[in-house]
Amino acid sequence: MRNLARLSAAGAATAILATALVTPARAAAVSWSACPAGPGVDARQECATLKVPLDYQAPGGPTISLAVSRIRTAKPASRRGVLLIIPGGPGSPGLNRPSVQAKRLPQDVLDRYDIIGFDPRGVGQSSPVSCGLATGDLSLTKLKPYPDAGGGIAANAAWSRRIAEACARNGGPLIRHISTRNEARDIDAIRRALGEKKISYWGVSYGTYAGAVYATMFPERTDRVVLDSNDDPDPSRVARQWLANYSVGVEDRFPDFAAWAAARDADYGLGTDAAAVRRTFLELAAELDRRPLPWPGANPEELNGNLLRETMLNALYSDTNFPMLAGLMRAALTTGELPPANTPPAAVLQNTAAHAGATMCNDVEWTDSVATFQRQVARDRIAHPLTAGMPGQHGAVRVLARQARGVGRTDRLARPGQRAAHPEPARPGHAVQRRAEDAAGVRAAGPHGQRRLRRPRFLPRQRQRLRRPDRHRLPDHRPPAEPRQELLTRPQLQARRRPS
C-alpha cells in the first residue's frame, strides 16, 4: 500500500493541471451499466463489454469480448486518470478487483483515479476458453506438476500429452491467440476505449510481467506503474522460471509458518521450534506419500503427500492461512478426520488450466525432452525438499505448440519488406521465445533465415527496477541439503510428538 500511496503523492505536484486532465474524451463504444450483484461486488462498480480482434494481425476479422469494470473517482474535480488492475495467473479473473481494492486503497488514490478491472481474454466473462479436460486431470497436483513419491515423472509426461491433445482438439481458435503480448494489446484497447492518452496500472504476480510487456510495447502510452510481487521477466524463460521459482519461494517463506506454528505448539503439536515443525512437515508428507488419507471433496479424494505440499504452498501466500495448514497437519497426525476440502469448482479449473497452458505455450519455447526434466527434478528434490521436485514436468505446452499448428501466429514477425497488419511502436517490444516468432535477445528463425533482435527494455529504470528472482539460487542463498529422513509410520509420528 505504501507504493500506491506514493502513486498518489507523486501526482500532487501536477494538481495545478488537474482541470486539463479531468475529462478526457470518451470512446462511444463503452456503454457502462450496473454490474450483476454478487458477494463482495461494490454497488458503485459498473461493467461494460468491449469487442477486440481475435487476431491483431487481422483486425477486420473475428472479434472476442472483453469484460471491463470500473469504480469512478470519488472526487471528479481531482481526477488524474485511470488505474488499471492487472490480475495474476495467468488465468486469474480481474473483473471484480475494483470492488476488492476499493476497500484497501488509500483514499487519495480513490480520489484521483478511476479504478479499472478486467477479465483477460479467455478468462471468466471474456470469451472463456476450455480444453474439456477429464476431472482427474484437473487435480491441483497435476496442474502444478509434482513428481511421484519416488521422484519419477512418467505420469507427468502422460498428463502433458493428454492436455496437449485435449487443448488442440477442444480449445478452438481463441487458444491460439492467448499470450502475454496479446494481453498487452488488449490493455491498450481498453485504454483507447476509455479515451485515455496514457494509462497507469498495478500488476500483481503474473500481472507484473504483463505490465512490463505493456510498457515495452507501448512506452509512450504508459503513465505510472506499480509492479507487485515480480515474476522473472526474462523473455527467454518466463513461465519455465516462474514454475521453478516456486520451490525457492517456499524455502524462503516456510520458516515464517514454522515459527508461527512453533509458538503455538500447545494448540497444534507440530514442534516446539521452527526446525521441529519443518521435520514434522517433511515426515508427514513422506508418510502420506506411502499411505494417503481419505479426503472427500478433494481432487483426488485423498490427502497424499503432494496434495499436502500443494496446500502448504498456497497457504504460504498469506499469514491468515497458517491456522488452516496447521489444523490440517494436526488432523492428519492425530485423528485422521480431515477438515472439509476447499477445492475450486471444476469450471474454474477448466478455464484456468486452458488459459495458463495457452499463455505458457505461446510465450516461450519448451524442451520436449523428458530426460532433461527428470534430471532437473532430481536436483531440485535435493535442493528444495519441501516441494519434492515440483515442477516435475510441464512439457504439455511444447507438445501443444506442435499439435495445434499455428499456436502463437498472432505474434509472428512480419516478413522483410512486409507491413505489419497491426503497426506498433518502433521501439523493441516484448517478444515470445519461439521459433518463427518474435524472440527478444535470441535467434528468431523464420522462413527468411535468422536475425538478431535487440533485447527489450521493459521499463525505465527510474520507474521500476526489475529484480531477477533466480538470484536467490546463488550458493549463499541455497538451503542446505536435508539429512536423510527416517521412514516413520503415522503411529510412530504421533508417539514422537507425545510429551515425555
**What is the structure's pLDDT at 168?**
92
Q: Are 421 and 58 in contact, with CB atoms under 8 Å apart?
A: yes
Query: To 10 degrees, what angle do helices 490-497 and 322-333 make?
Result: 110
DSSP code at position 391: S
Q: Are 127 and 244 in contact, with CB atoms under 8 Å apart?
A: no
DSSP code string of 197-230: SSEEEEEETHHHHHHHHHHHH-GGGEEEEEEESP
Listed residue (22, 111, 29) closest to 63, CA to CA: 29
Beta-carbon-side half-sphere exposure of residue 391 (alpha carbons within 13 Å): 19
**What is the structure's pLDDT at 89?**
87
Instruction: Read off the C-alpha cell for 463.
Output: 520507474
**What is the structure's pLDDT at 438?**
30
User: pLDDT tens string for the chain (500 positions)?
Assistant: 444 444 444 443 333 233 233 333 344 468 999 999 889 999 999 999 999 999 999 999 999 999 999 999 989 999 999 999 999 989 999 999 999 999 999 999 999 999 999 999 999 999 999 999 999 999 988 888 899 999 999 998 899 899 989 999 999 999 999 999 999 999 999 999 999 999 999 999 999 999 999 999 999 999 999 999 887 777 777 777 778 888 889 999 999 999 999 999 999 999 999 999 999 999 999 999 999 999 999 998 999 999 999 999 999 999 999 999 999 999 999 988 899 998 999 999 999 999 999 998 888 877 778 888 899 899 999 999 999 998 754 444 444 444 443 444 434 322 223 333 333 332 222 222 222 223 222 222 222 222 222 333 333 333 333 333 333 332 333 334 444 445 555 566 666 555 54
**What is the structure's pLDDT at 373?**
86
Q: Is the peptide bond before 90 cis (omega within 30 degrees of 0)?
A: yes
Q: Is the peptide bond before 300 cis (omega within 30 degrees of 0)?
A: yes
Q: Are 101 and 51 in contact, with CB atoms under 8 Å apart?
A: no
Instruction: Read off the C-alpha cell for 458.
Output: 521493459
- For the chain, domains (ranges, CATH) are 2-131+176-228 (3.40.50.1820)
**What is the structure's pLDDT at 371?**
87
DSSP code at position 293: E
What's at 437, amino acid-wise? E
pLDDT tens string 78-137: 999 999 999 998 999 999 999 999 999 999 999 999 999 999 999 999 999 999 999 999
Strands (E), 300-382: 302-303
pLDDT tens string 393-444: 444 444 444 444 344 443 432 222 333 333 333 222 222 222 222 322 222 2
